[in-house]
Amino acid sequence: MATAVLPRSATTAPRAVVRATGESRTVRWILIAIALGFLSLVLLVPLLLVFVQALSKGLPAYWEAIKEPDALSAAKLTLLIAAIAVPANLIFGVAAAWCISKFAFRGKHLLITLIDLPFAVSPVISGMIFVLLFGAHGWFGPWLAEHDIKVIFAIPGMVLATTFVTAPFIARELIPLMQEQGTEEEEAAIVLGAGGWQTFFRVTLPNIKWGLLYGLILCNARAMGEFGAVSVVSGHIRGETNTLPLHVEILYNEYAFAASFAVASVLTLLALVTLALKTLVEWQQRRAMSDAAEVFTTPERIAA
Amino acid sequence: MSIQVRNLRKTFGDFVALNDVSLDVPGGELVSLLGPSGSGKTTLLRIIAGLEPADTGTIHFHGEDTTERPVRERQVGFVFQHYALFRHMSVFENVAFGLRVKPRNMRPPEKEIRETVMGLLHLVQLDVQAERRPSELSGGQRQRVALARALAVKPKVLLLDEPFGALDAKVRKELRRWLRRLHEEVHVTSVFVTHDQEEALEVSDRVVIMNEGKIEQSGTPEEVYDRPATPFVYGFLGDVNLFHGRLDRGQVSIGANQLEAPEWAEAKDQAAVAYVRTYDIELTPVPSGLSSIEATVQHVRAFGPMVRLELRRVEDGETIEAHVPRAIFEKHGVVKGQRVFVSPTSVRVFAQS
């Protein structure tokens, strides 16, 4: 109360920062409480619940659910699909970003829009597209049947669907980064006699490595967690075409809650590891960026 | 290694960047391309380097057609305005890059690479900083690394695109002199792009002045400065006053004043512009003939050996800038607001069609 009547002086100066918002203490605390409450309800409680439910029948039951053959086969398939889809998107993403950011050509904007397409359509529709293309009654269905190749309700279809859904992650991460870096370093490299591959591996790649790693982590997380598109093309054959997310759903539908959450907790752990890695890479990337930013901001120093 | 450029034309959409440009750069010379932004000088440099294809026209290096040759085989050194150093490599590795990417059978052994790079870093006075990252160097140091990197592959031609454009005035001046010395030492044919006339006139053996995709004039710094070939060059190099008037049989009438233009004795009543350099103006307290222009003193900046006066012509209110030696200025005791007479001692007249 006393401070309110004092003229502006050194003693009141530190309070000016607090007053900048102009809200009373009560309002501020209510807002903070709402935010925290919302976050715990939507993020924290479900996360904890997964582990609580998973362990509800004790550690032995948890362990049993995880090492059950169908669950192990689902885990293997999930890893296999990610092991194909992620490298495929690594190549595609880097190639697309390189092409978009370092060259000028007709139809560039169309290509950028196309890369965003998997983000824009619902994953279920992405799955349907592949059924329409490769299913028994699809465009290539008869030809595939003739040559005895199974795509839909088999692993190739699931790989295709996952690759499609996760296609934008790496490209989207790299395009702005590479556009910002420009083409001068590459031009300098080719003038010095470097070939295309030498320029890429010695100049371009080292400059984008943190952004690339970040994109890879996100892409991998999505590839392992994808449900909708994979569900449409999988056929849900236990021990054959089930991935971890699909296996969770099957167990849940069979009222095997503890087992279902046990498998879910494996996926959740994977997600947490991904988040930790992501944070680490982000931190590294920021450091690399501030290093690069310094190139343009340091004041001139006369050479010694 | 000389460079011959013949009939180059380059457009970007509707914009004509180069319009039938031909140029000869004699071997071992340092030539600068000077012009305002958008004049096509950087485009010309990038086409010589091979970083940009020309629409039509040819480039020859020492009589050999290189128009279709890819950049990496042209053996040119290129220095960029913003250095373009490899940010993740040390200074040493930046300079060594050109040697390390050579095909295996042409790549020098590690020991030789080390010697070459350290020799170049010594030449650019950065041997102590060899293990630093580019981000730890000042702008001037970075540009010297870029220069050493370009020289490492023993280029036949050195191309510099506004190399000092991003540096502050003091460092620019230092590097300019240093580049001149370096060129005398290594003597590689060099083309230097700049929009700074002082830089071009001070550094180069020859200056090529460009405007709107065309070469306006090319010659030694003395030639282009003392005998500008076109009105553009006159206006672009040095401070100049313009007088618009009528030209008739060797006389230009500017209002009540008459200026002699004997080289236009044949001209019959046509519009003309007279160019007078700021230091080609004589100051007198009384009129001395028809060329004496009556003016009032608006501003006096009396520092340095030349006193800079801003005058207003009484007849039409046009501004005239005059640089007079301090002794003359003090002799006449010129003050602000005073009425004086100025006569051009040297006039260049261009007829307008």
Task: Write the ipTM.
Answer: 0.82
Are A166 and A234 in a shared domain?
Answer: yes
Q: What number is the average pLDDT over the span A104-116? A: 89
- What pLDDT is attached to residue A21? 67
Domain final residue pick, A54, A76, A101: A54
From the list A184, A292, A299, the residue facing B84 with the nearest CB is A184
**Is residue A178 domain-shared with residue A74, that is, in the same domain?**
yes
Q: What pLDDT is stored for residue A19 in this prediction?
A: 62
Residue of B nearest to A298 (CA): B138
Q: Specify whether A176 is located in the same domain as A46.
A: no
pLDDT digits (tens, 9 = 90+) for B256-310: 888 888 888 888 888 998 899 998 998 888 888 888 899 999 999 888 888 999 9
Distance from A296 to chain B by nearest Cα, in Å? 8
Contact B87 A304 (CB under 8 A): no
User: pLDDT at residue A9 above 60?
Assistant: no
Q: What is the DSSP string of B105-158?
A: GGPPPHHHHHHHHHHHHHHTT-GGGTTS-GGGS-HHHHHHHHHHHHHHT--SEE
Residues A36 and A152 in one domain: no
Which pLDDT band holds residue B19 (cuts at 50, 70, 90)? very high
Helix/strand/coil for B347? coil
Determine, yes or no, domain membership for A237: yes
Query: Domain limits at A189?
Result: 55-303
pLDDT of residue A163: 93
Of A187, A198, A301, the CB nearest to B84: A187
Is residue A265 predicted with pLDDT exceeding 60? yes
- What is the DSSP track for B253-301? EETTEEEE-GGGTT--SEEEEEEEETTSEEEESS--STTPEEEEEEEEE
Residue A2 resides in a domain = no
Answer yes or no: are the C-beta atoms of B340 and B295 closer than 8 Å.
Answer: yes
Answer yes or no: do A230 and A178 share one domain. Answer: yes
pLDDT band at A4, cuts 50/70/90?
Answer: very low
Q: How far apart are CA B258 and CA B253, in angstroms?
A: 5
Question: Residue A62 contacts by C-beta under 8 Å, 6 or more apart in sequence?
Answer: A54, A55, A258, A262, A265
CB pair distance less than 8 Å for B134 and A207? no
Do A23 and A171 sit in the same domain of this protein?
no
How many structural domains comprise chain A? Answer: 2
Type and span of the H or E element at B339? strand B339-344
**B37-61: average pLDDT:** 92
Angle, CA of B245, B235 and B283, to the nearest 5°: 65
Which CATH number do you get for residue A231?
1.10.3720.10
Which of A149-163, A173-187, B110-124, B212-226 comes out lowest in average pLDDT?
A149-163
Residues A126 and A244 both lie in one domain: yes
Over residues A227-250, mean pLDDT:
84
- Torsion sign (Cα): B14, B15, B20, B25: negative
CA dist., res. B90 & res. A292, Å (int): 13
How much is the mean pLDDT over chain A?
Answer: 83
Decide which of A7, A28, A54 is a domain's last residue. Answer: A54
Whole-number pLDDT of residue A10: 46
pLDDT digits (tens, 9 = 90+) for A39-97: 999 989 988 888 888 888 888 888 888 888 888 888 888 899 999 999 999 999 999 99
Shared domain for A29 and A65, answered yes or no, is no
Do A110 and A21 share a structural domain? no
A41 and A119 fall within a common domain: no
Model confidence at A1, pLDDT cuts 50, 70, 90, reads: very low
**What is the edge-to-edge ordering of all strands in the sheet holding B157-161?**
B76-79, B157-161, B189-194, B30-34, B206-211, B214-219
Q: Same domain for A23 and A96?
A: no
B156 touches chain A (CB under 8 A): no
On the 0-12 / 13-18 / 19+ scale of CB atoms within 10 A, A274 is middle
Residue with tokens 């392992």: A224
CB atoms within 10 A of CB A179: 13
Sign of the CA dihedral with A231 first, then A234, A237, and A240 last:
negative
Q: Where a domain ends, among A32, A54, A76?
A: A54
Identify the pLDDT of residue A18: 52
Contact criterion met (CB < 8 Å) for A302 and B80:
no
In a domain, residue A269? The reply is yes
Percent of chain B with pLDDT over 90: 49
Tell whether A6 is covered by a domain.
no
Q: How far is A175 from chain B (nearest CA, A)?
A: 19
**Six-digit token string for B52:** 């940009």
Pair A47, A60 in one domain: no
Which residues are B161's β-sheet partners? B193
B116 burial level (CB within 10 Å; 0-12, 13-18, 19+): buried
Cβ–Cβ of A185/B171 closer than 8 Å?
no
Which helix (H) or strand (E) covers residue A144, if one does? Answer: helix A141-146
Asked if the C-beta of A303 comes within 8 angstroms of chain B's C-beta atoms, the answer is yes
Residue A297 located in a structural domain: yes
Q: For residue A170, tell me if it sits in a domain.
A: yes
**The two three-digit tokens of residue A47, written as one number:** 């996360």
